Amino acid sequence: MSALSAIRRSRNRPARPDTDTSGHRLLEVSGLTTRFDTPDGLVQAVNGVDLHVDRAEIVGVVGESGCGKSVTIRSILGLVRPPGRVVGGTAHFNGVDLLTLRGAELRRLRGKDIGFIAQNPFSALNPVMRIHRQFRNIMAAHDPASAGEVRDRARAALADVGIAGPGRVLDGYAHQLSGGMAQRVVIAMAMLLNPAFVIADEPTTGLDLTVQRQILDLIRGLVREHGRSMLLVTHDLGVVAQYCDRVVVMYAGKVIEHGSVRDVLTAPRHPYTQALIRAIPRPGRPLVHLTGRPPDLVDYPDGCPFRARCPHAFEPCGHTVPEPVTVASGQTYRCHLREDGEVGL
Ligand code: SF4
């Protein structure tokens, strides 16, 4: 399905409420702020990000490369390494602030309660260790079992992700697998301990189009079937339209719009979201590229970070950071322009 037709279909989908009225919130991130000390200066990679994921919900995080999507999820998972550091915010998962946990406590949660599917399966898999040994290591860290039991569970996990002949894969190495097969192995490892929550960081990067859809269908099936929740990072609005319930749009390390997929993709409020949607190829129409580049995160601009690329920018955008505005449906955006033509300051 094309990105455009996926967005059109999302119009017919019922919108999920954007406020938690039933105590079903699984992850609540608030004010998340991450910096990188580099020779060029302090990179303001993530700037006060707020987002949440409810139980049995799939939330997409979308934006161009370098807008802070991956650093946000790595910050939540405690995977930011020096020179990066999380300098502010909270990330409550099941009521526990992940940002206060030490290494061993976080490792216990990752894998058992939170499954992580990384962008590049070949960097997630150990190239010099047989696959079955890697399954054994996961089990040993969280749920020790006999060698026979580990093998049975690994075979079942590989069968669940559609790998025929799992015994052969278990006895082999990562380099013997195609990209799609390697990502299936990583997905099987992420789901092995039945986590309630899955974080997938652009899980189909580098795969061909047909395999991409198979992998995304597979992940969605494993999430929906077991009532899991997922945070899915992607740069593709078509993926958001097809696979997610809600969407968070990021720009320059900030959330600039969020809401139900139906609301955000069919009635985007922020000029950046509107530009991303206009940039989707449409039959018979010339491409409307989003011109310009995101701002330098070392020399972070005053006011609205989208100002230099925004066709609607006006005087206040240069000095006043837009506050979030929430409309009746729960859709929230950060822009000084209002739909009714008023200027909100
Ligand atoms: Fe454009 Fe101003 Fe809105 Fe930023 S605040 S998106 S520059 S109109």
Residue 35 Cα to ligand 1 midpoint, Å, equals 24
Per-residue pLDDT tens digits of the chain, which is 345 residues long: 666 666 666 666 655 555 555 568 999 999 999 999 999 999 999 999 999 999 999 999 999 999 999 999 999 999 999 999 999 999 999 999 999 998 889 988 988 999 999 989 999 999 999 999 999 999 998 888 888 999 999 999 999 999 998 999 999 999 999 999 999 999 999 999 999 999 999 999 888 888 999 999 999 999 999 999 999 999 999 999 999 999 999 999 999 999 999 999 999 999 999 999 998 887 877 778 888 999 999 999 999 999 999 999 999 999 999 999 999 999 999 999 976 545 444
Integer Cα distance of 303 and 345 in angstroms: 12
Sign of the torsion angle spanned by Cα atoms 65, 67, 73, 78: positive
**Can you tell me which atom of ligand 1 is nearest the CA of 312?**
8
pTM, rounded to two decimals: 0.91
Question: Using CA atoms in the order 217, 173, 153, 155, what is the torsion angle rounded to 10 degrees?
Answer: 70
- In degrees and rounded to multiples of 5, residue 247 shows phi and psi of -140, 145
Residues with CB under 6 A from ligand 1: 271, 304, 306-307, 310, 312-313, 317, 322, 335-337
Which residue's CA is the closest to the ligand 1 atom numbered 5? 335
Residues paired with residue 333 on neighbouring β-strands, in sequence order: 257, 325
Q: Tokens for 278?
A: 């206009």
CA proximity to 95, closest of 55, 68, 49:
55
Give the list of residues 6+ apart from residue 272 with CB closer than 8 angstroms, or none: 249, 251, 256, 257, 306, 309, 310
Ligand 1 atom showing the smallest separation from residue 304 Cα: 4
Q: 292 by DSSP, 3-state: which?
A: coil
